[in-house]
């Protein structure tokens, strides 16, 4: 059926053919859900930076918001938002301004409140970022007294398919549960993460409960050192990512899957037929205290 047929009204739109998105606005204070005596505190953290290199680039915006949650992973209270701008030591790249809207004029003369930021970050049981491997590195470089604390990642620390959601992009995930927001500004991204953590799957569990459960389990970073170039497609299909700094394929696996991963690697990557340069991979144990560092 062509477009003229649709315009003529021959195709009827039902209620299930329309999806309405509403602007996300978090309400501070008690949520009215869960255990009022909830003992746990989380803090969502988001950074906007001058680039992707945590050793050389700088934070230009930092946003934090704490929330209280109970043993079932239900958010019971939402704190106020905190955010700061920071003037960097060099001009903000044009591409960063294009994405975030932050200009040199907007951040001129501004500085993070380091002491307050550390106090808020350290007050939580878990620090959560939607790309914790990015945010944690920048935060700990800028605020070294906030180092060595437990982190979790809402991007890779939750199997979103269990919540009937597709992909990992924050904006896309949030839109699938009925919200939109102004992405790529730190405070808006923080609020989007909190909204996402409240999402309840068909089994009645919240996304936050799954995130904390996974964060508390030890896991292993597997580095396929000495792997032959010819097996890169197998590694990629298995979920390995390329580490451009150490020039090695690596992935994280739960402790319960380590033995299966060893067998797979032995059969596919380190067999004589695969021509590896070394006899086997390297395994490094990680916990919530060391993950994403």
pLDDT digits (tens, 9 = 90+) for 19-44: 899 999 999 999 999 999 999 999 99
What's the pLDDT tens digit per position in 71-95? 999 999 999 999 999 999 999 999 9
Q: What is the pTM of this model?
A: 0.87
- pLDDT reported for residue 13: 57
- pLDDT single digits (tens) 233-272: 999 999 999 988 789 999 999 999 999 999 999 999 999 9
CA gap 209, 199 in Å, rounded: 10
Q: Could you count the other beta carbons within 10 Å of the beta carbon of residue 282?
A: 14
- Could you tell me the two tokens for 181? 């927001």
- Summarised one tens digit per residue, pLDDT across range 190-203 is 999 999 999 999 99
The pLDDT score that the predictor gives to residue 146 is 97
Residue 93: phi and psi, rounded to 5, are -60, 150
pLDDT of 7 higher than 50? no
Cβ-contact 51, 93 below 8 angstroms: yes
**Residue 288 DSSP symbol:** T
CA distance 71 to 266: 40
Please give the structure tokens belonging to residue 182.
């102004």
What is the secondary structure of 62-106 as a DSSP string?
Answer: EEEEEEEE-TTS-EEEEEEEEEEE---SSPPPHHHHHHH---HHH
Nearest of 250, 249, 251 to residue 230 by alpha carbon: 249
- Whose tokens are 């990512």? That residue is 241
Segment (H or E) for 2: none
- Give the burial class of 184: count Cβ atoms within 10 A of its Cβ; 0-12 exposed, 13-18 middle, 19 or more buried: middle
In the prediction, which pLDDT does 6 show?
44
Torsion angles phi and psi, residue 241, rounded to 5? -115, 155
Query: Furthest-apart CA pair in the chain: how many Å?
Result: 68
CA distance 141 to 118: 12
Give me the long-range contacts of 165-172 (CB less than 8 A, separation at least 24): 165/199, 170/130, 170/196
Q: Is 10 exposed, middle or buried (0-12, 13-18, 19+ CB in 10 A)?
A: exposed
Calculate ∠ Cα 114-116-120, nearest 5°: 115
């Amino acid at each position: 059926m062509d477009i003229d047929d649709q315009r003529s009204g021959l195709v009827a739109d039902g209620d299930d053919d329309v999806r309405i998105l509403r602007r996300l606005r978090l309400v501070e204070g008690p949520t009215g859900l869960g255990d009022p005596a909830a003992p746990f505190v989380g803090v969502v953290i988001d950074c906007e930076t001058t680039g992707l290199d945590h050793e050389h680039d700088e934070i230009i915006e930092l946003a934090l918001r704490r929330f209280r949650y109970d043993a079932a992973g239900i958010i019971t209270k939402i704190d106020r938002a905190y955010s700061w701008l920071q003037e960097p030591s060099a001009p903000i790249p044009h591409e960063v301004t294009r994405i975030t809207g932050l200009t040199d004029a907007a951040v001129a003369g501004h500085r993070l409140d380091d002491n307050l930021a550390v106090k808020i970050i350290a007050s939580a049981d878990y620090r959560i970022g939607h790309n914790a491997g990015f945010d944690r590195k920048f935060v700990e470089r800028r605020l070294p007294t906030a180092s060595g604390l437990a982190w979790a990642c809402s991007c890779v620390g939750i199997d979103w398919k269990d919540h009937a959601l597709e992909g990992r992009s924050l904006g896309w995930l949030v839109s699938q549960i009925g919200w939109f927001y102004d992405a790529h500004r730190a405070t808006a991204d923080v609020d989007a993460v909190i909204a996402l953590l409240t999402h309840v799957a068909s089994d009645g569990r919240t996304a936050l409960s799954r995130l904390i459960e996974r964060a508390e389990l030890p896991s292993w970073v597997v580095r396929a050192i000495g792997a032959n170039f010819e097996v890169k497609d197998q590694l990629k299909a298995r979920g390995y990512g390329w580490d451009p700094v150490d020039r090695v394929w690596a992935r994280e696996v739960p402790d319960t899957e380590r033995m299966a991963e060893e067998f797979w690697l032995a059969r596919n990557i380190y067999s004589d037929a695969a021509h590896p340069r070394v006899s086997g991979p390297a395994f490094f144990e990680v916990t919530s205290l060391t993950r994403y560092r």
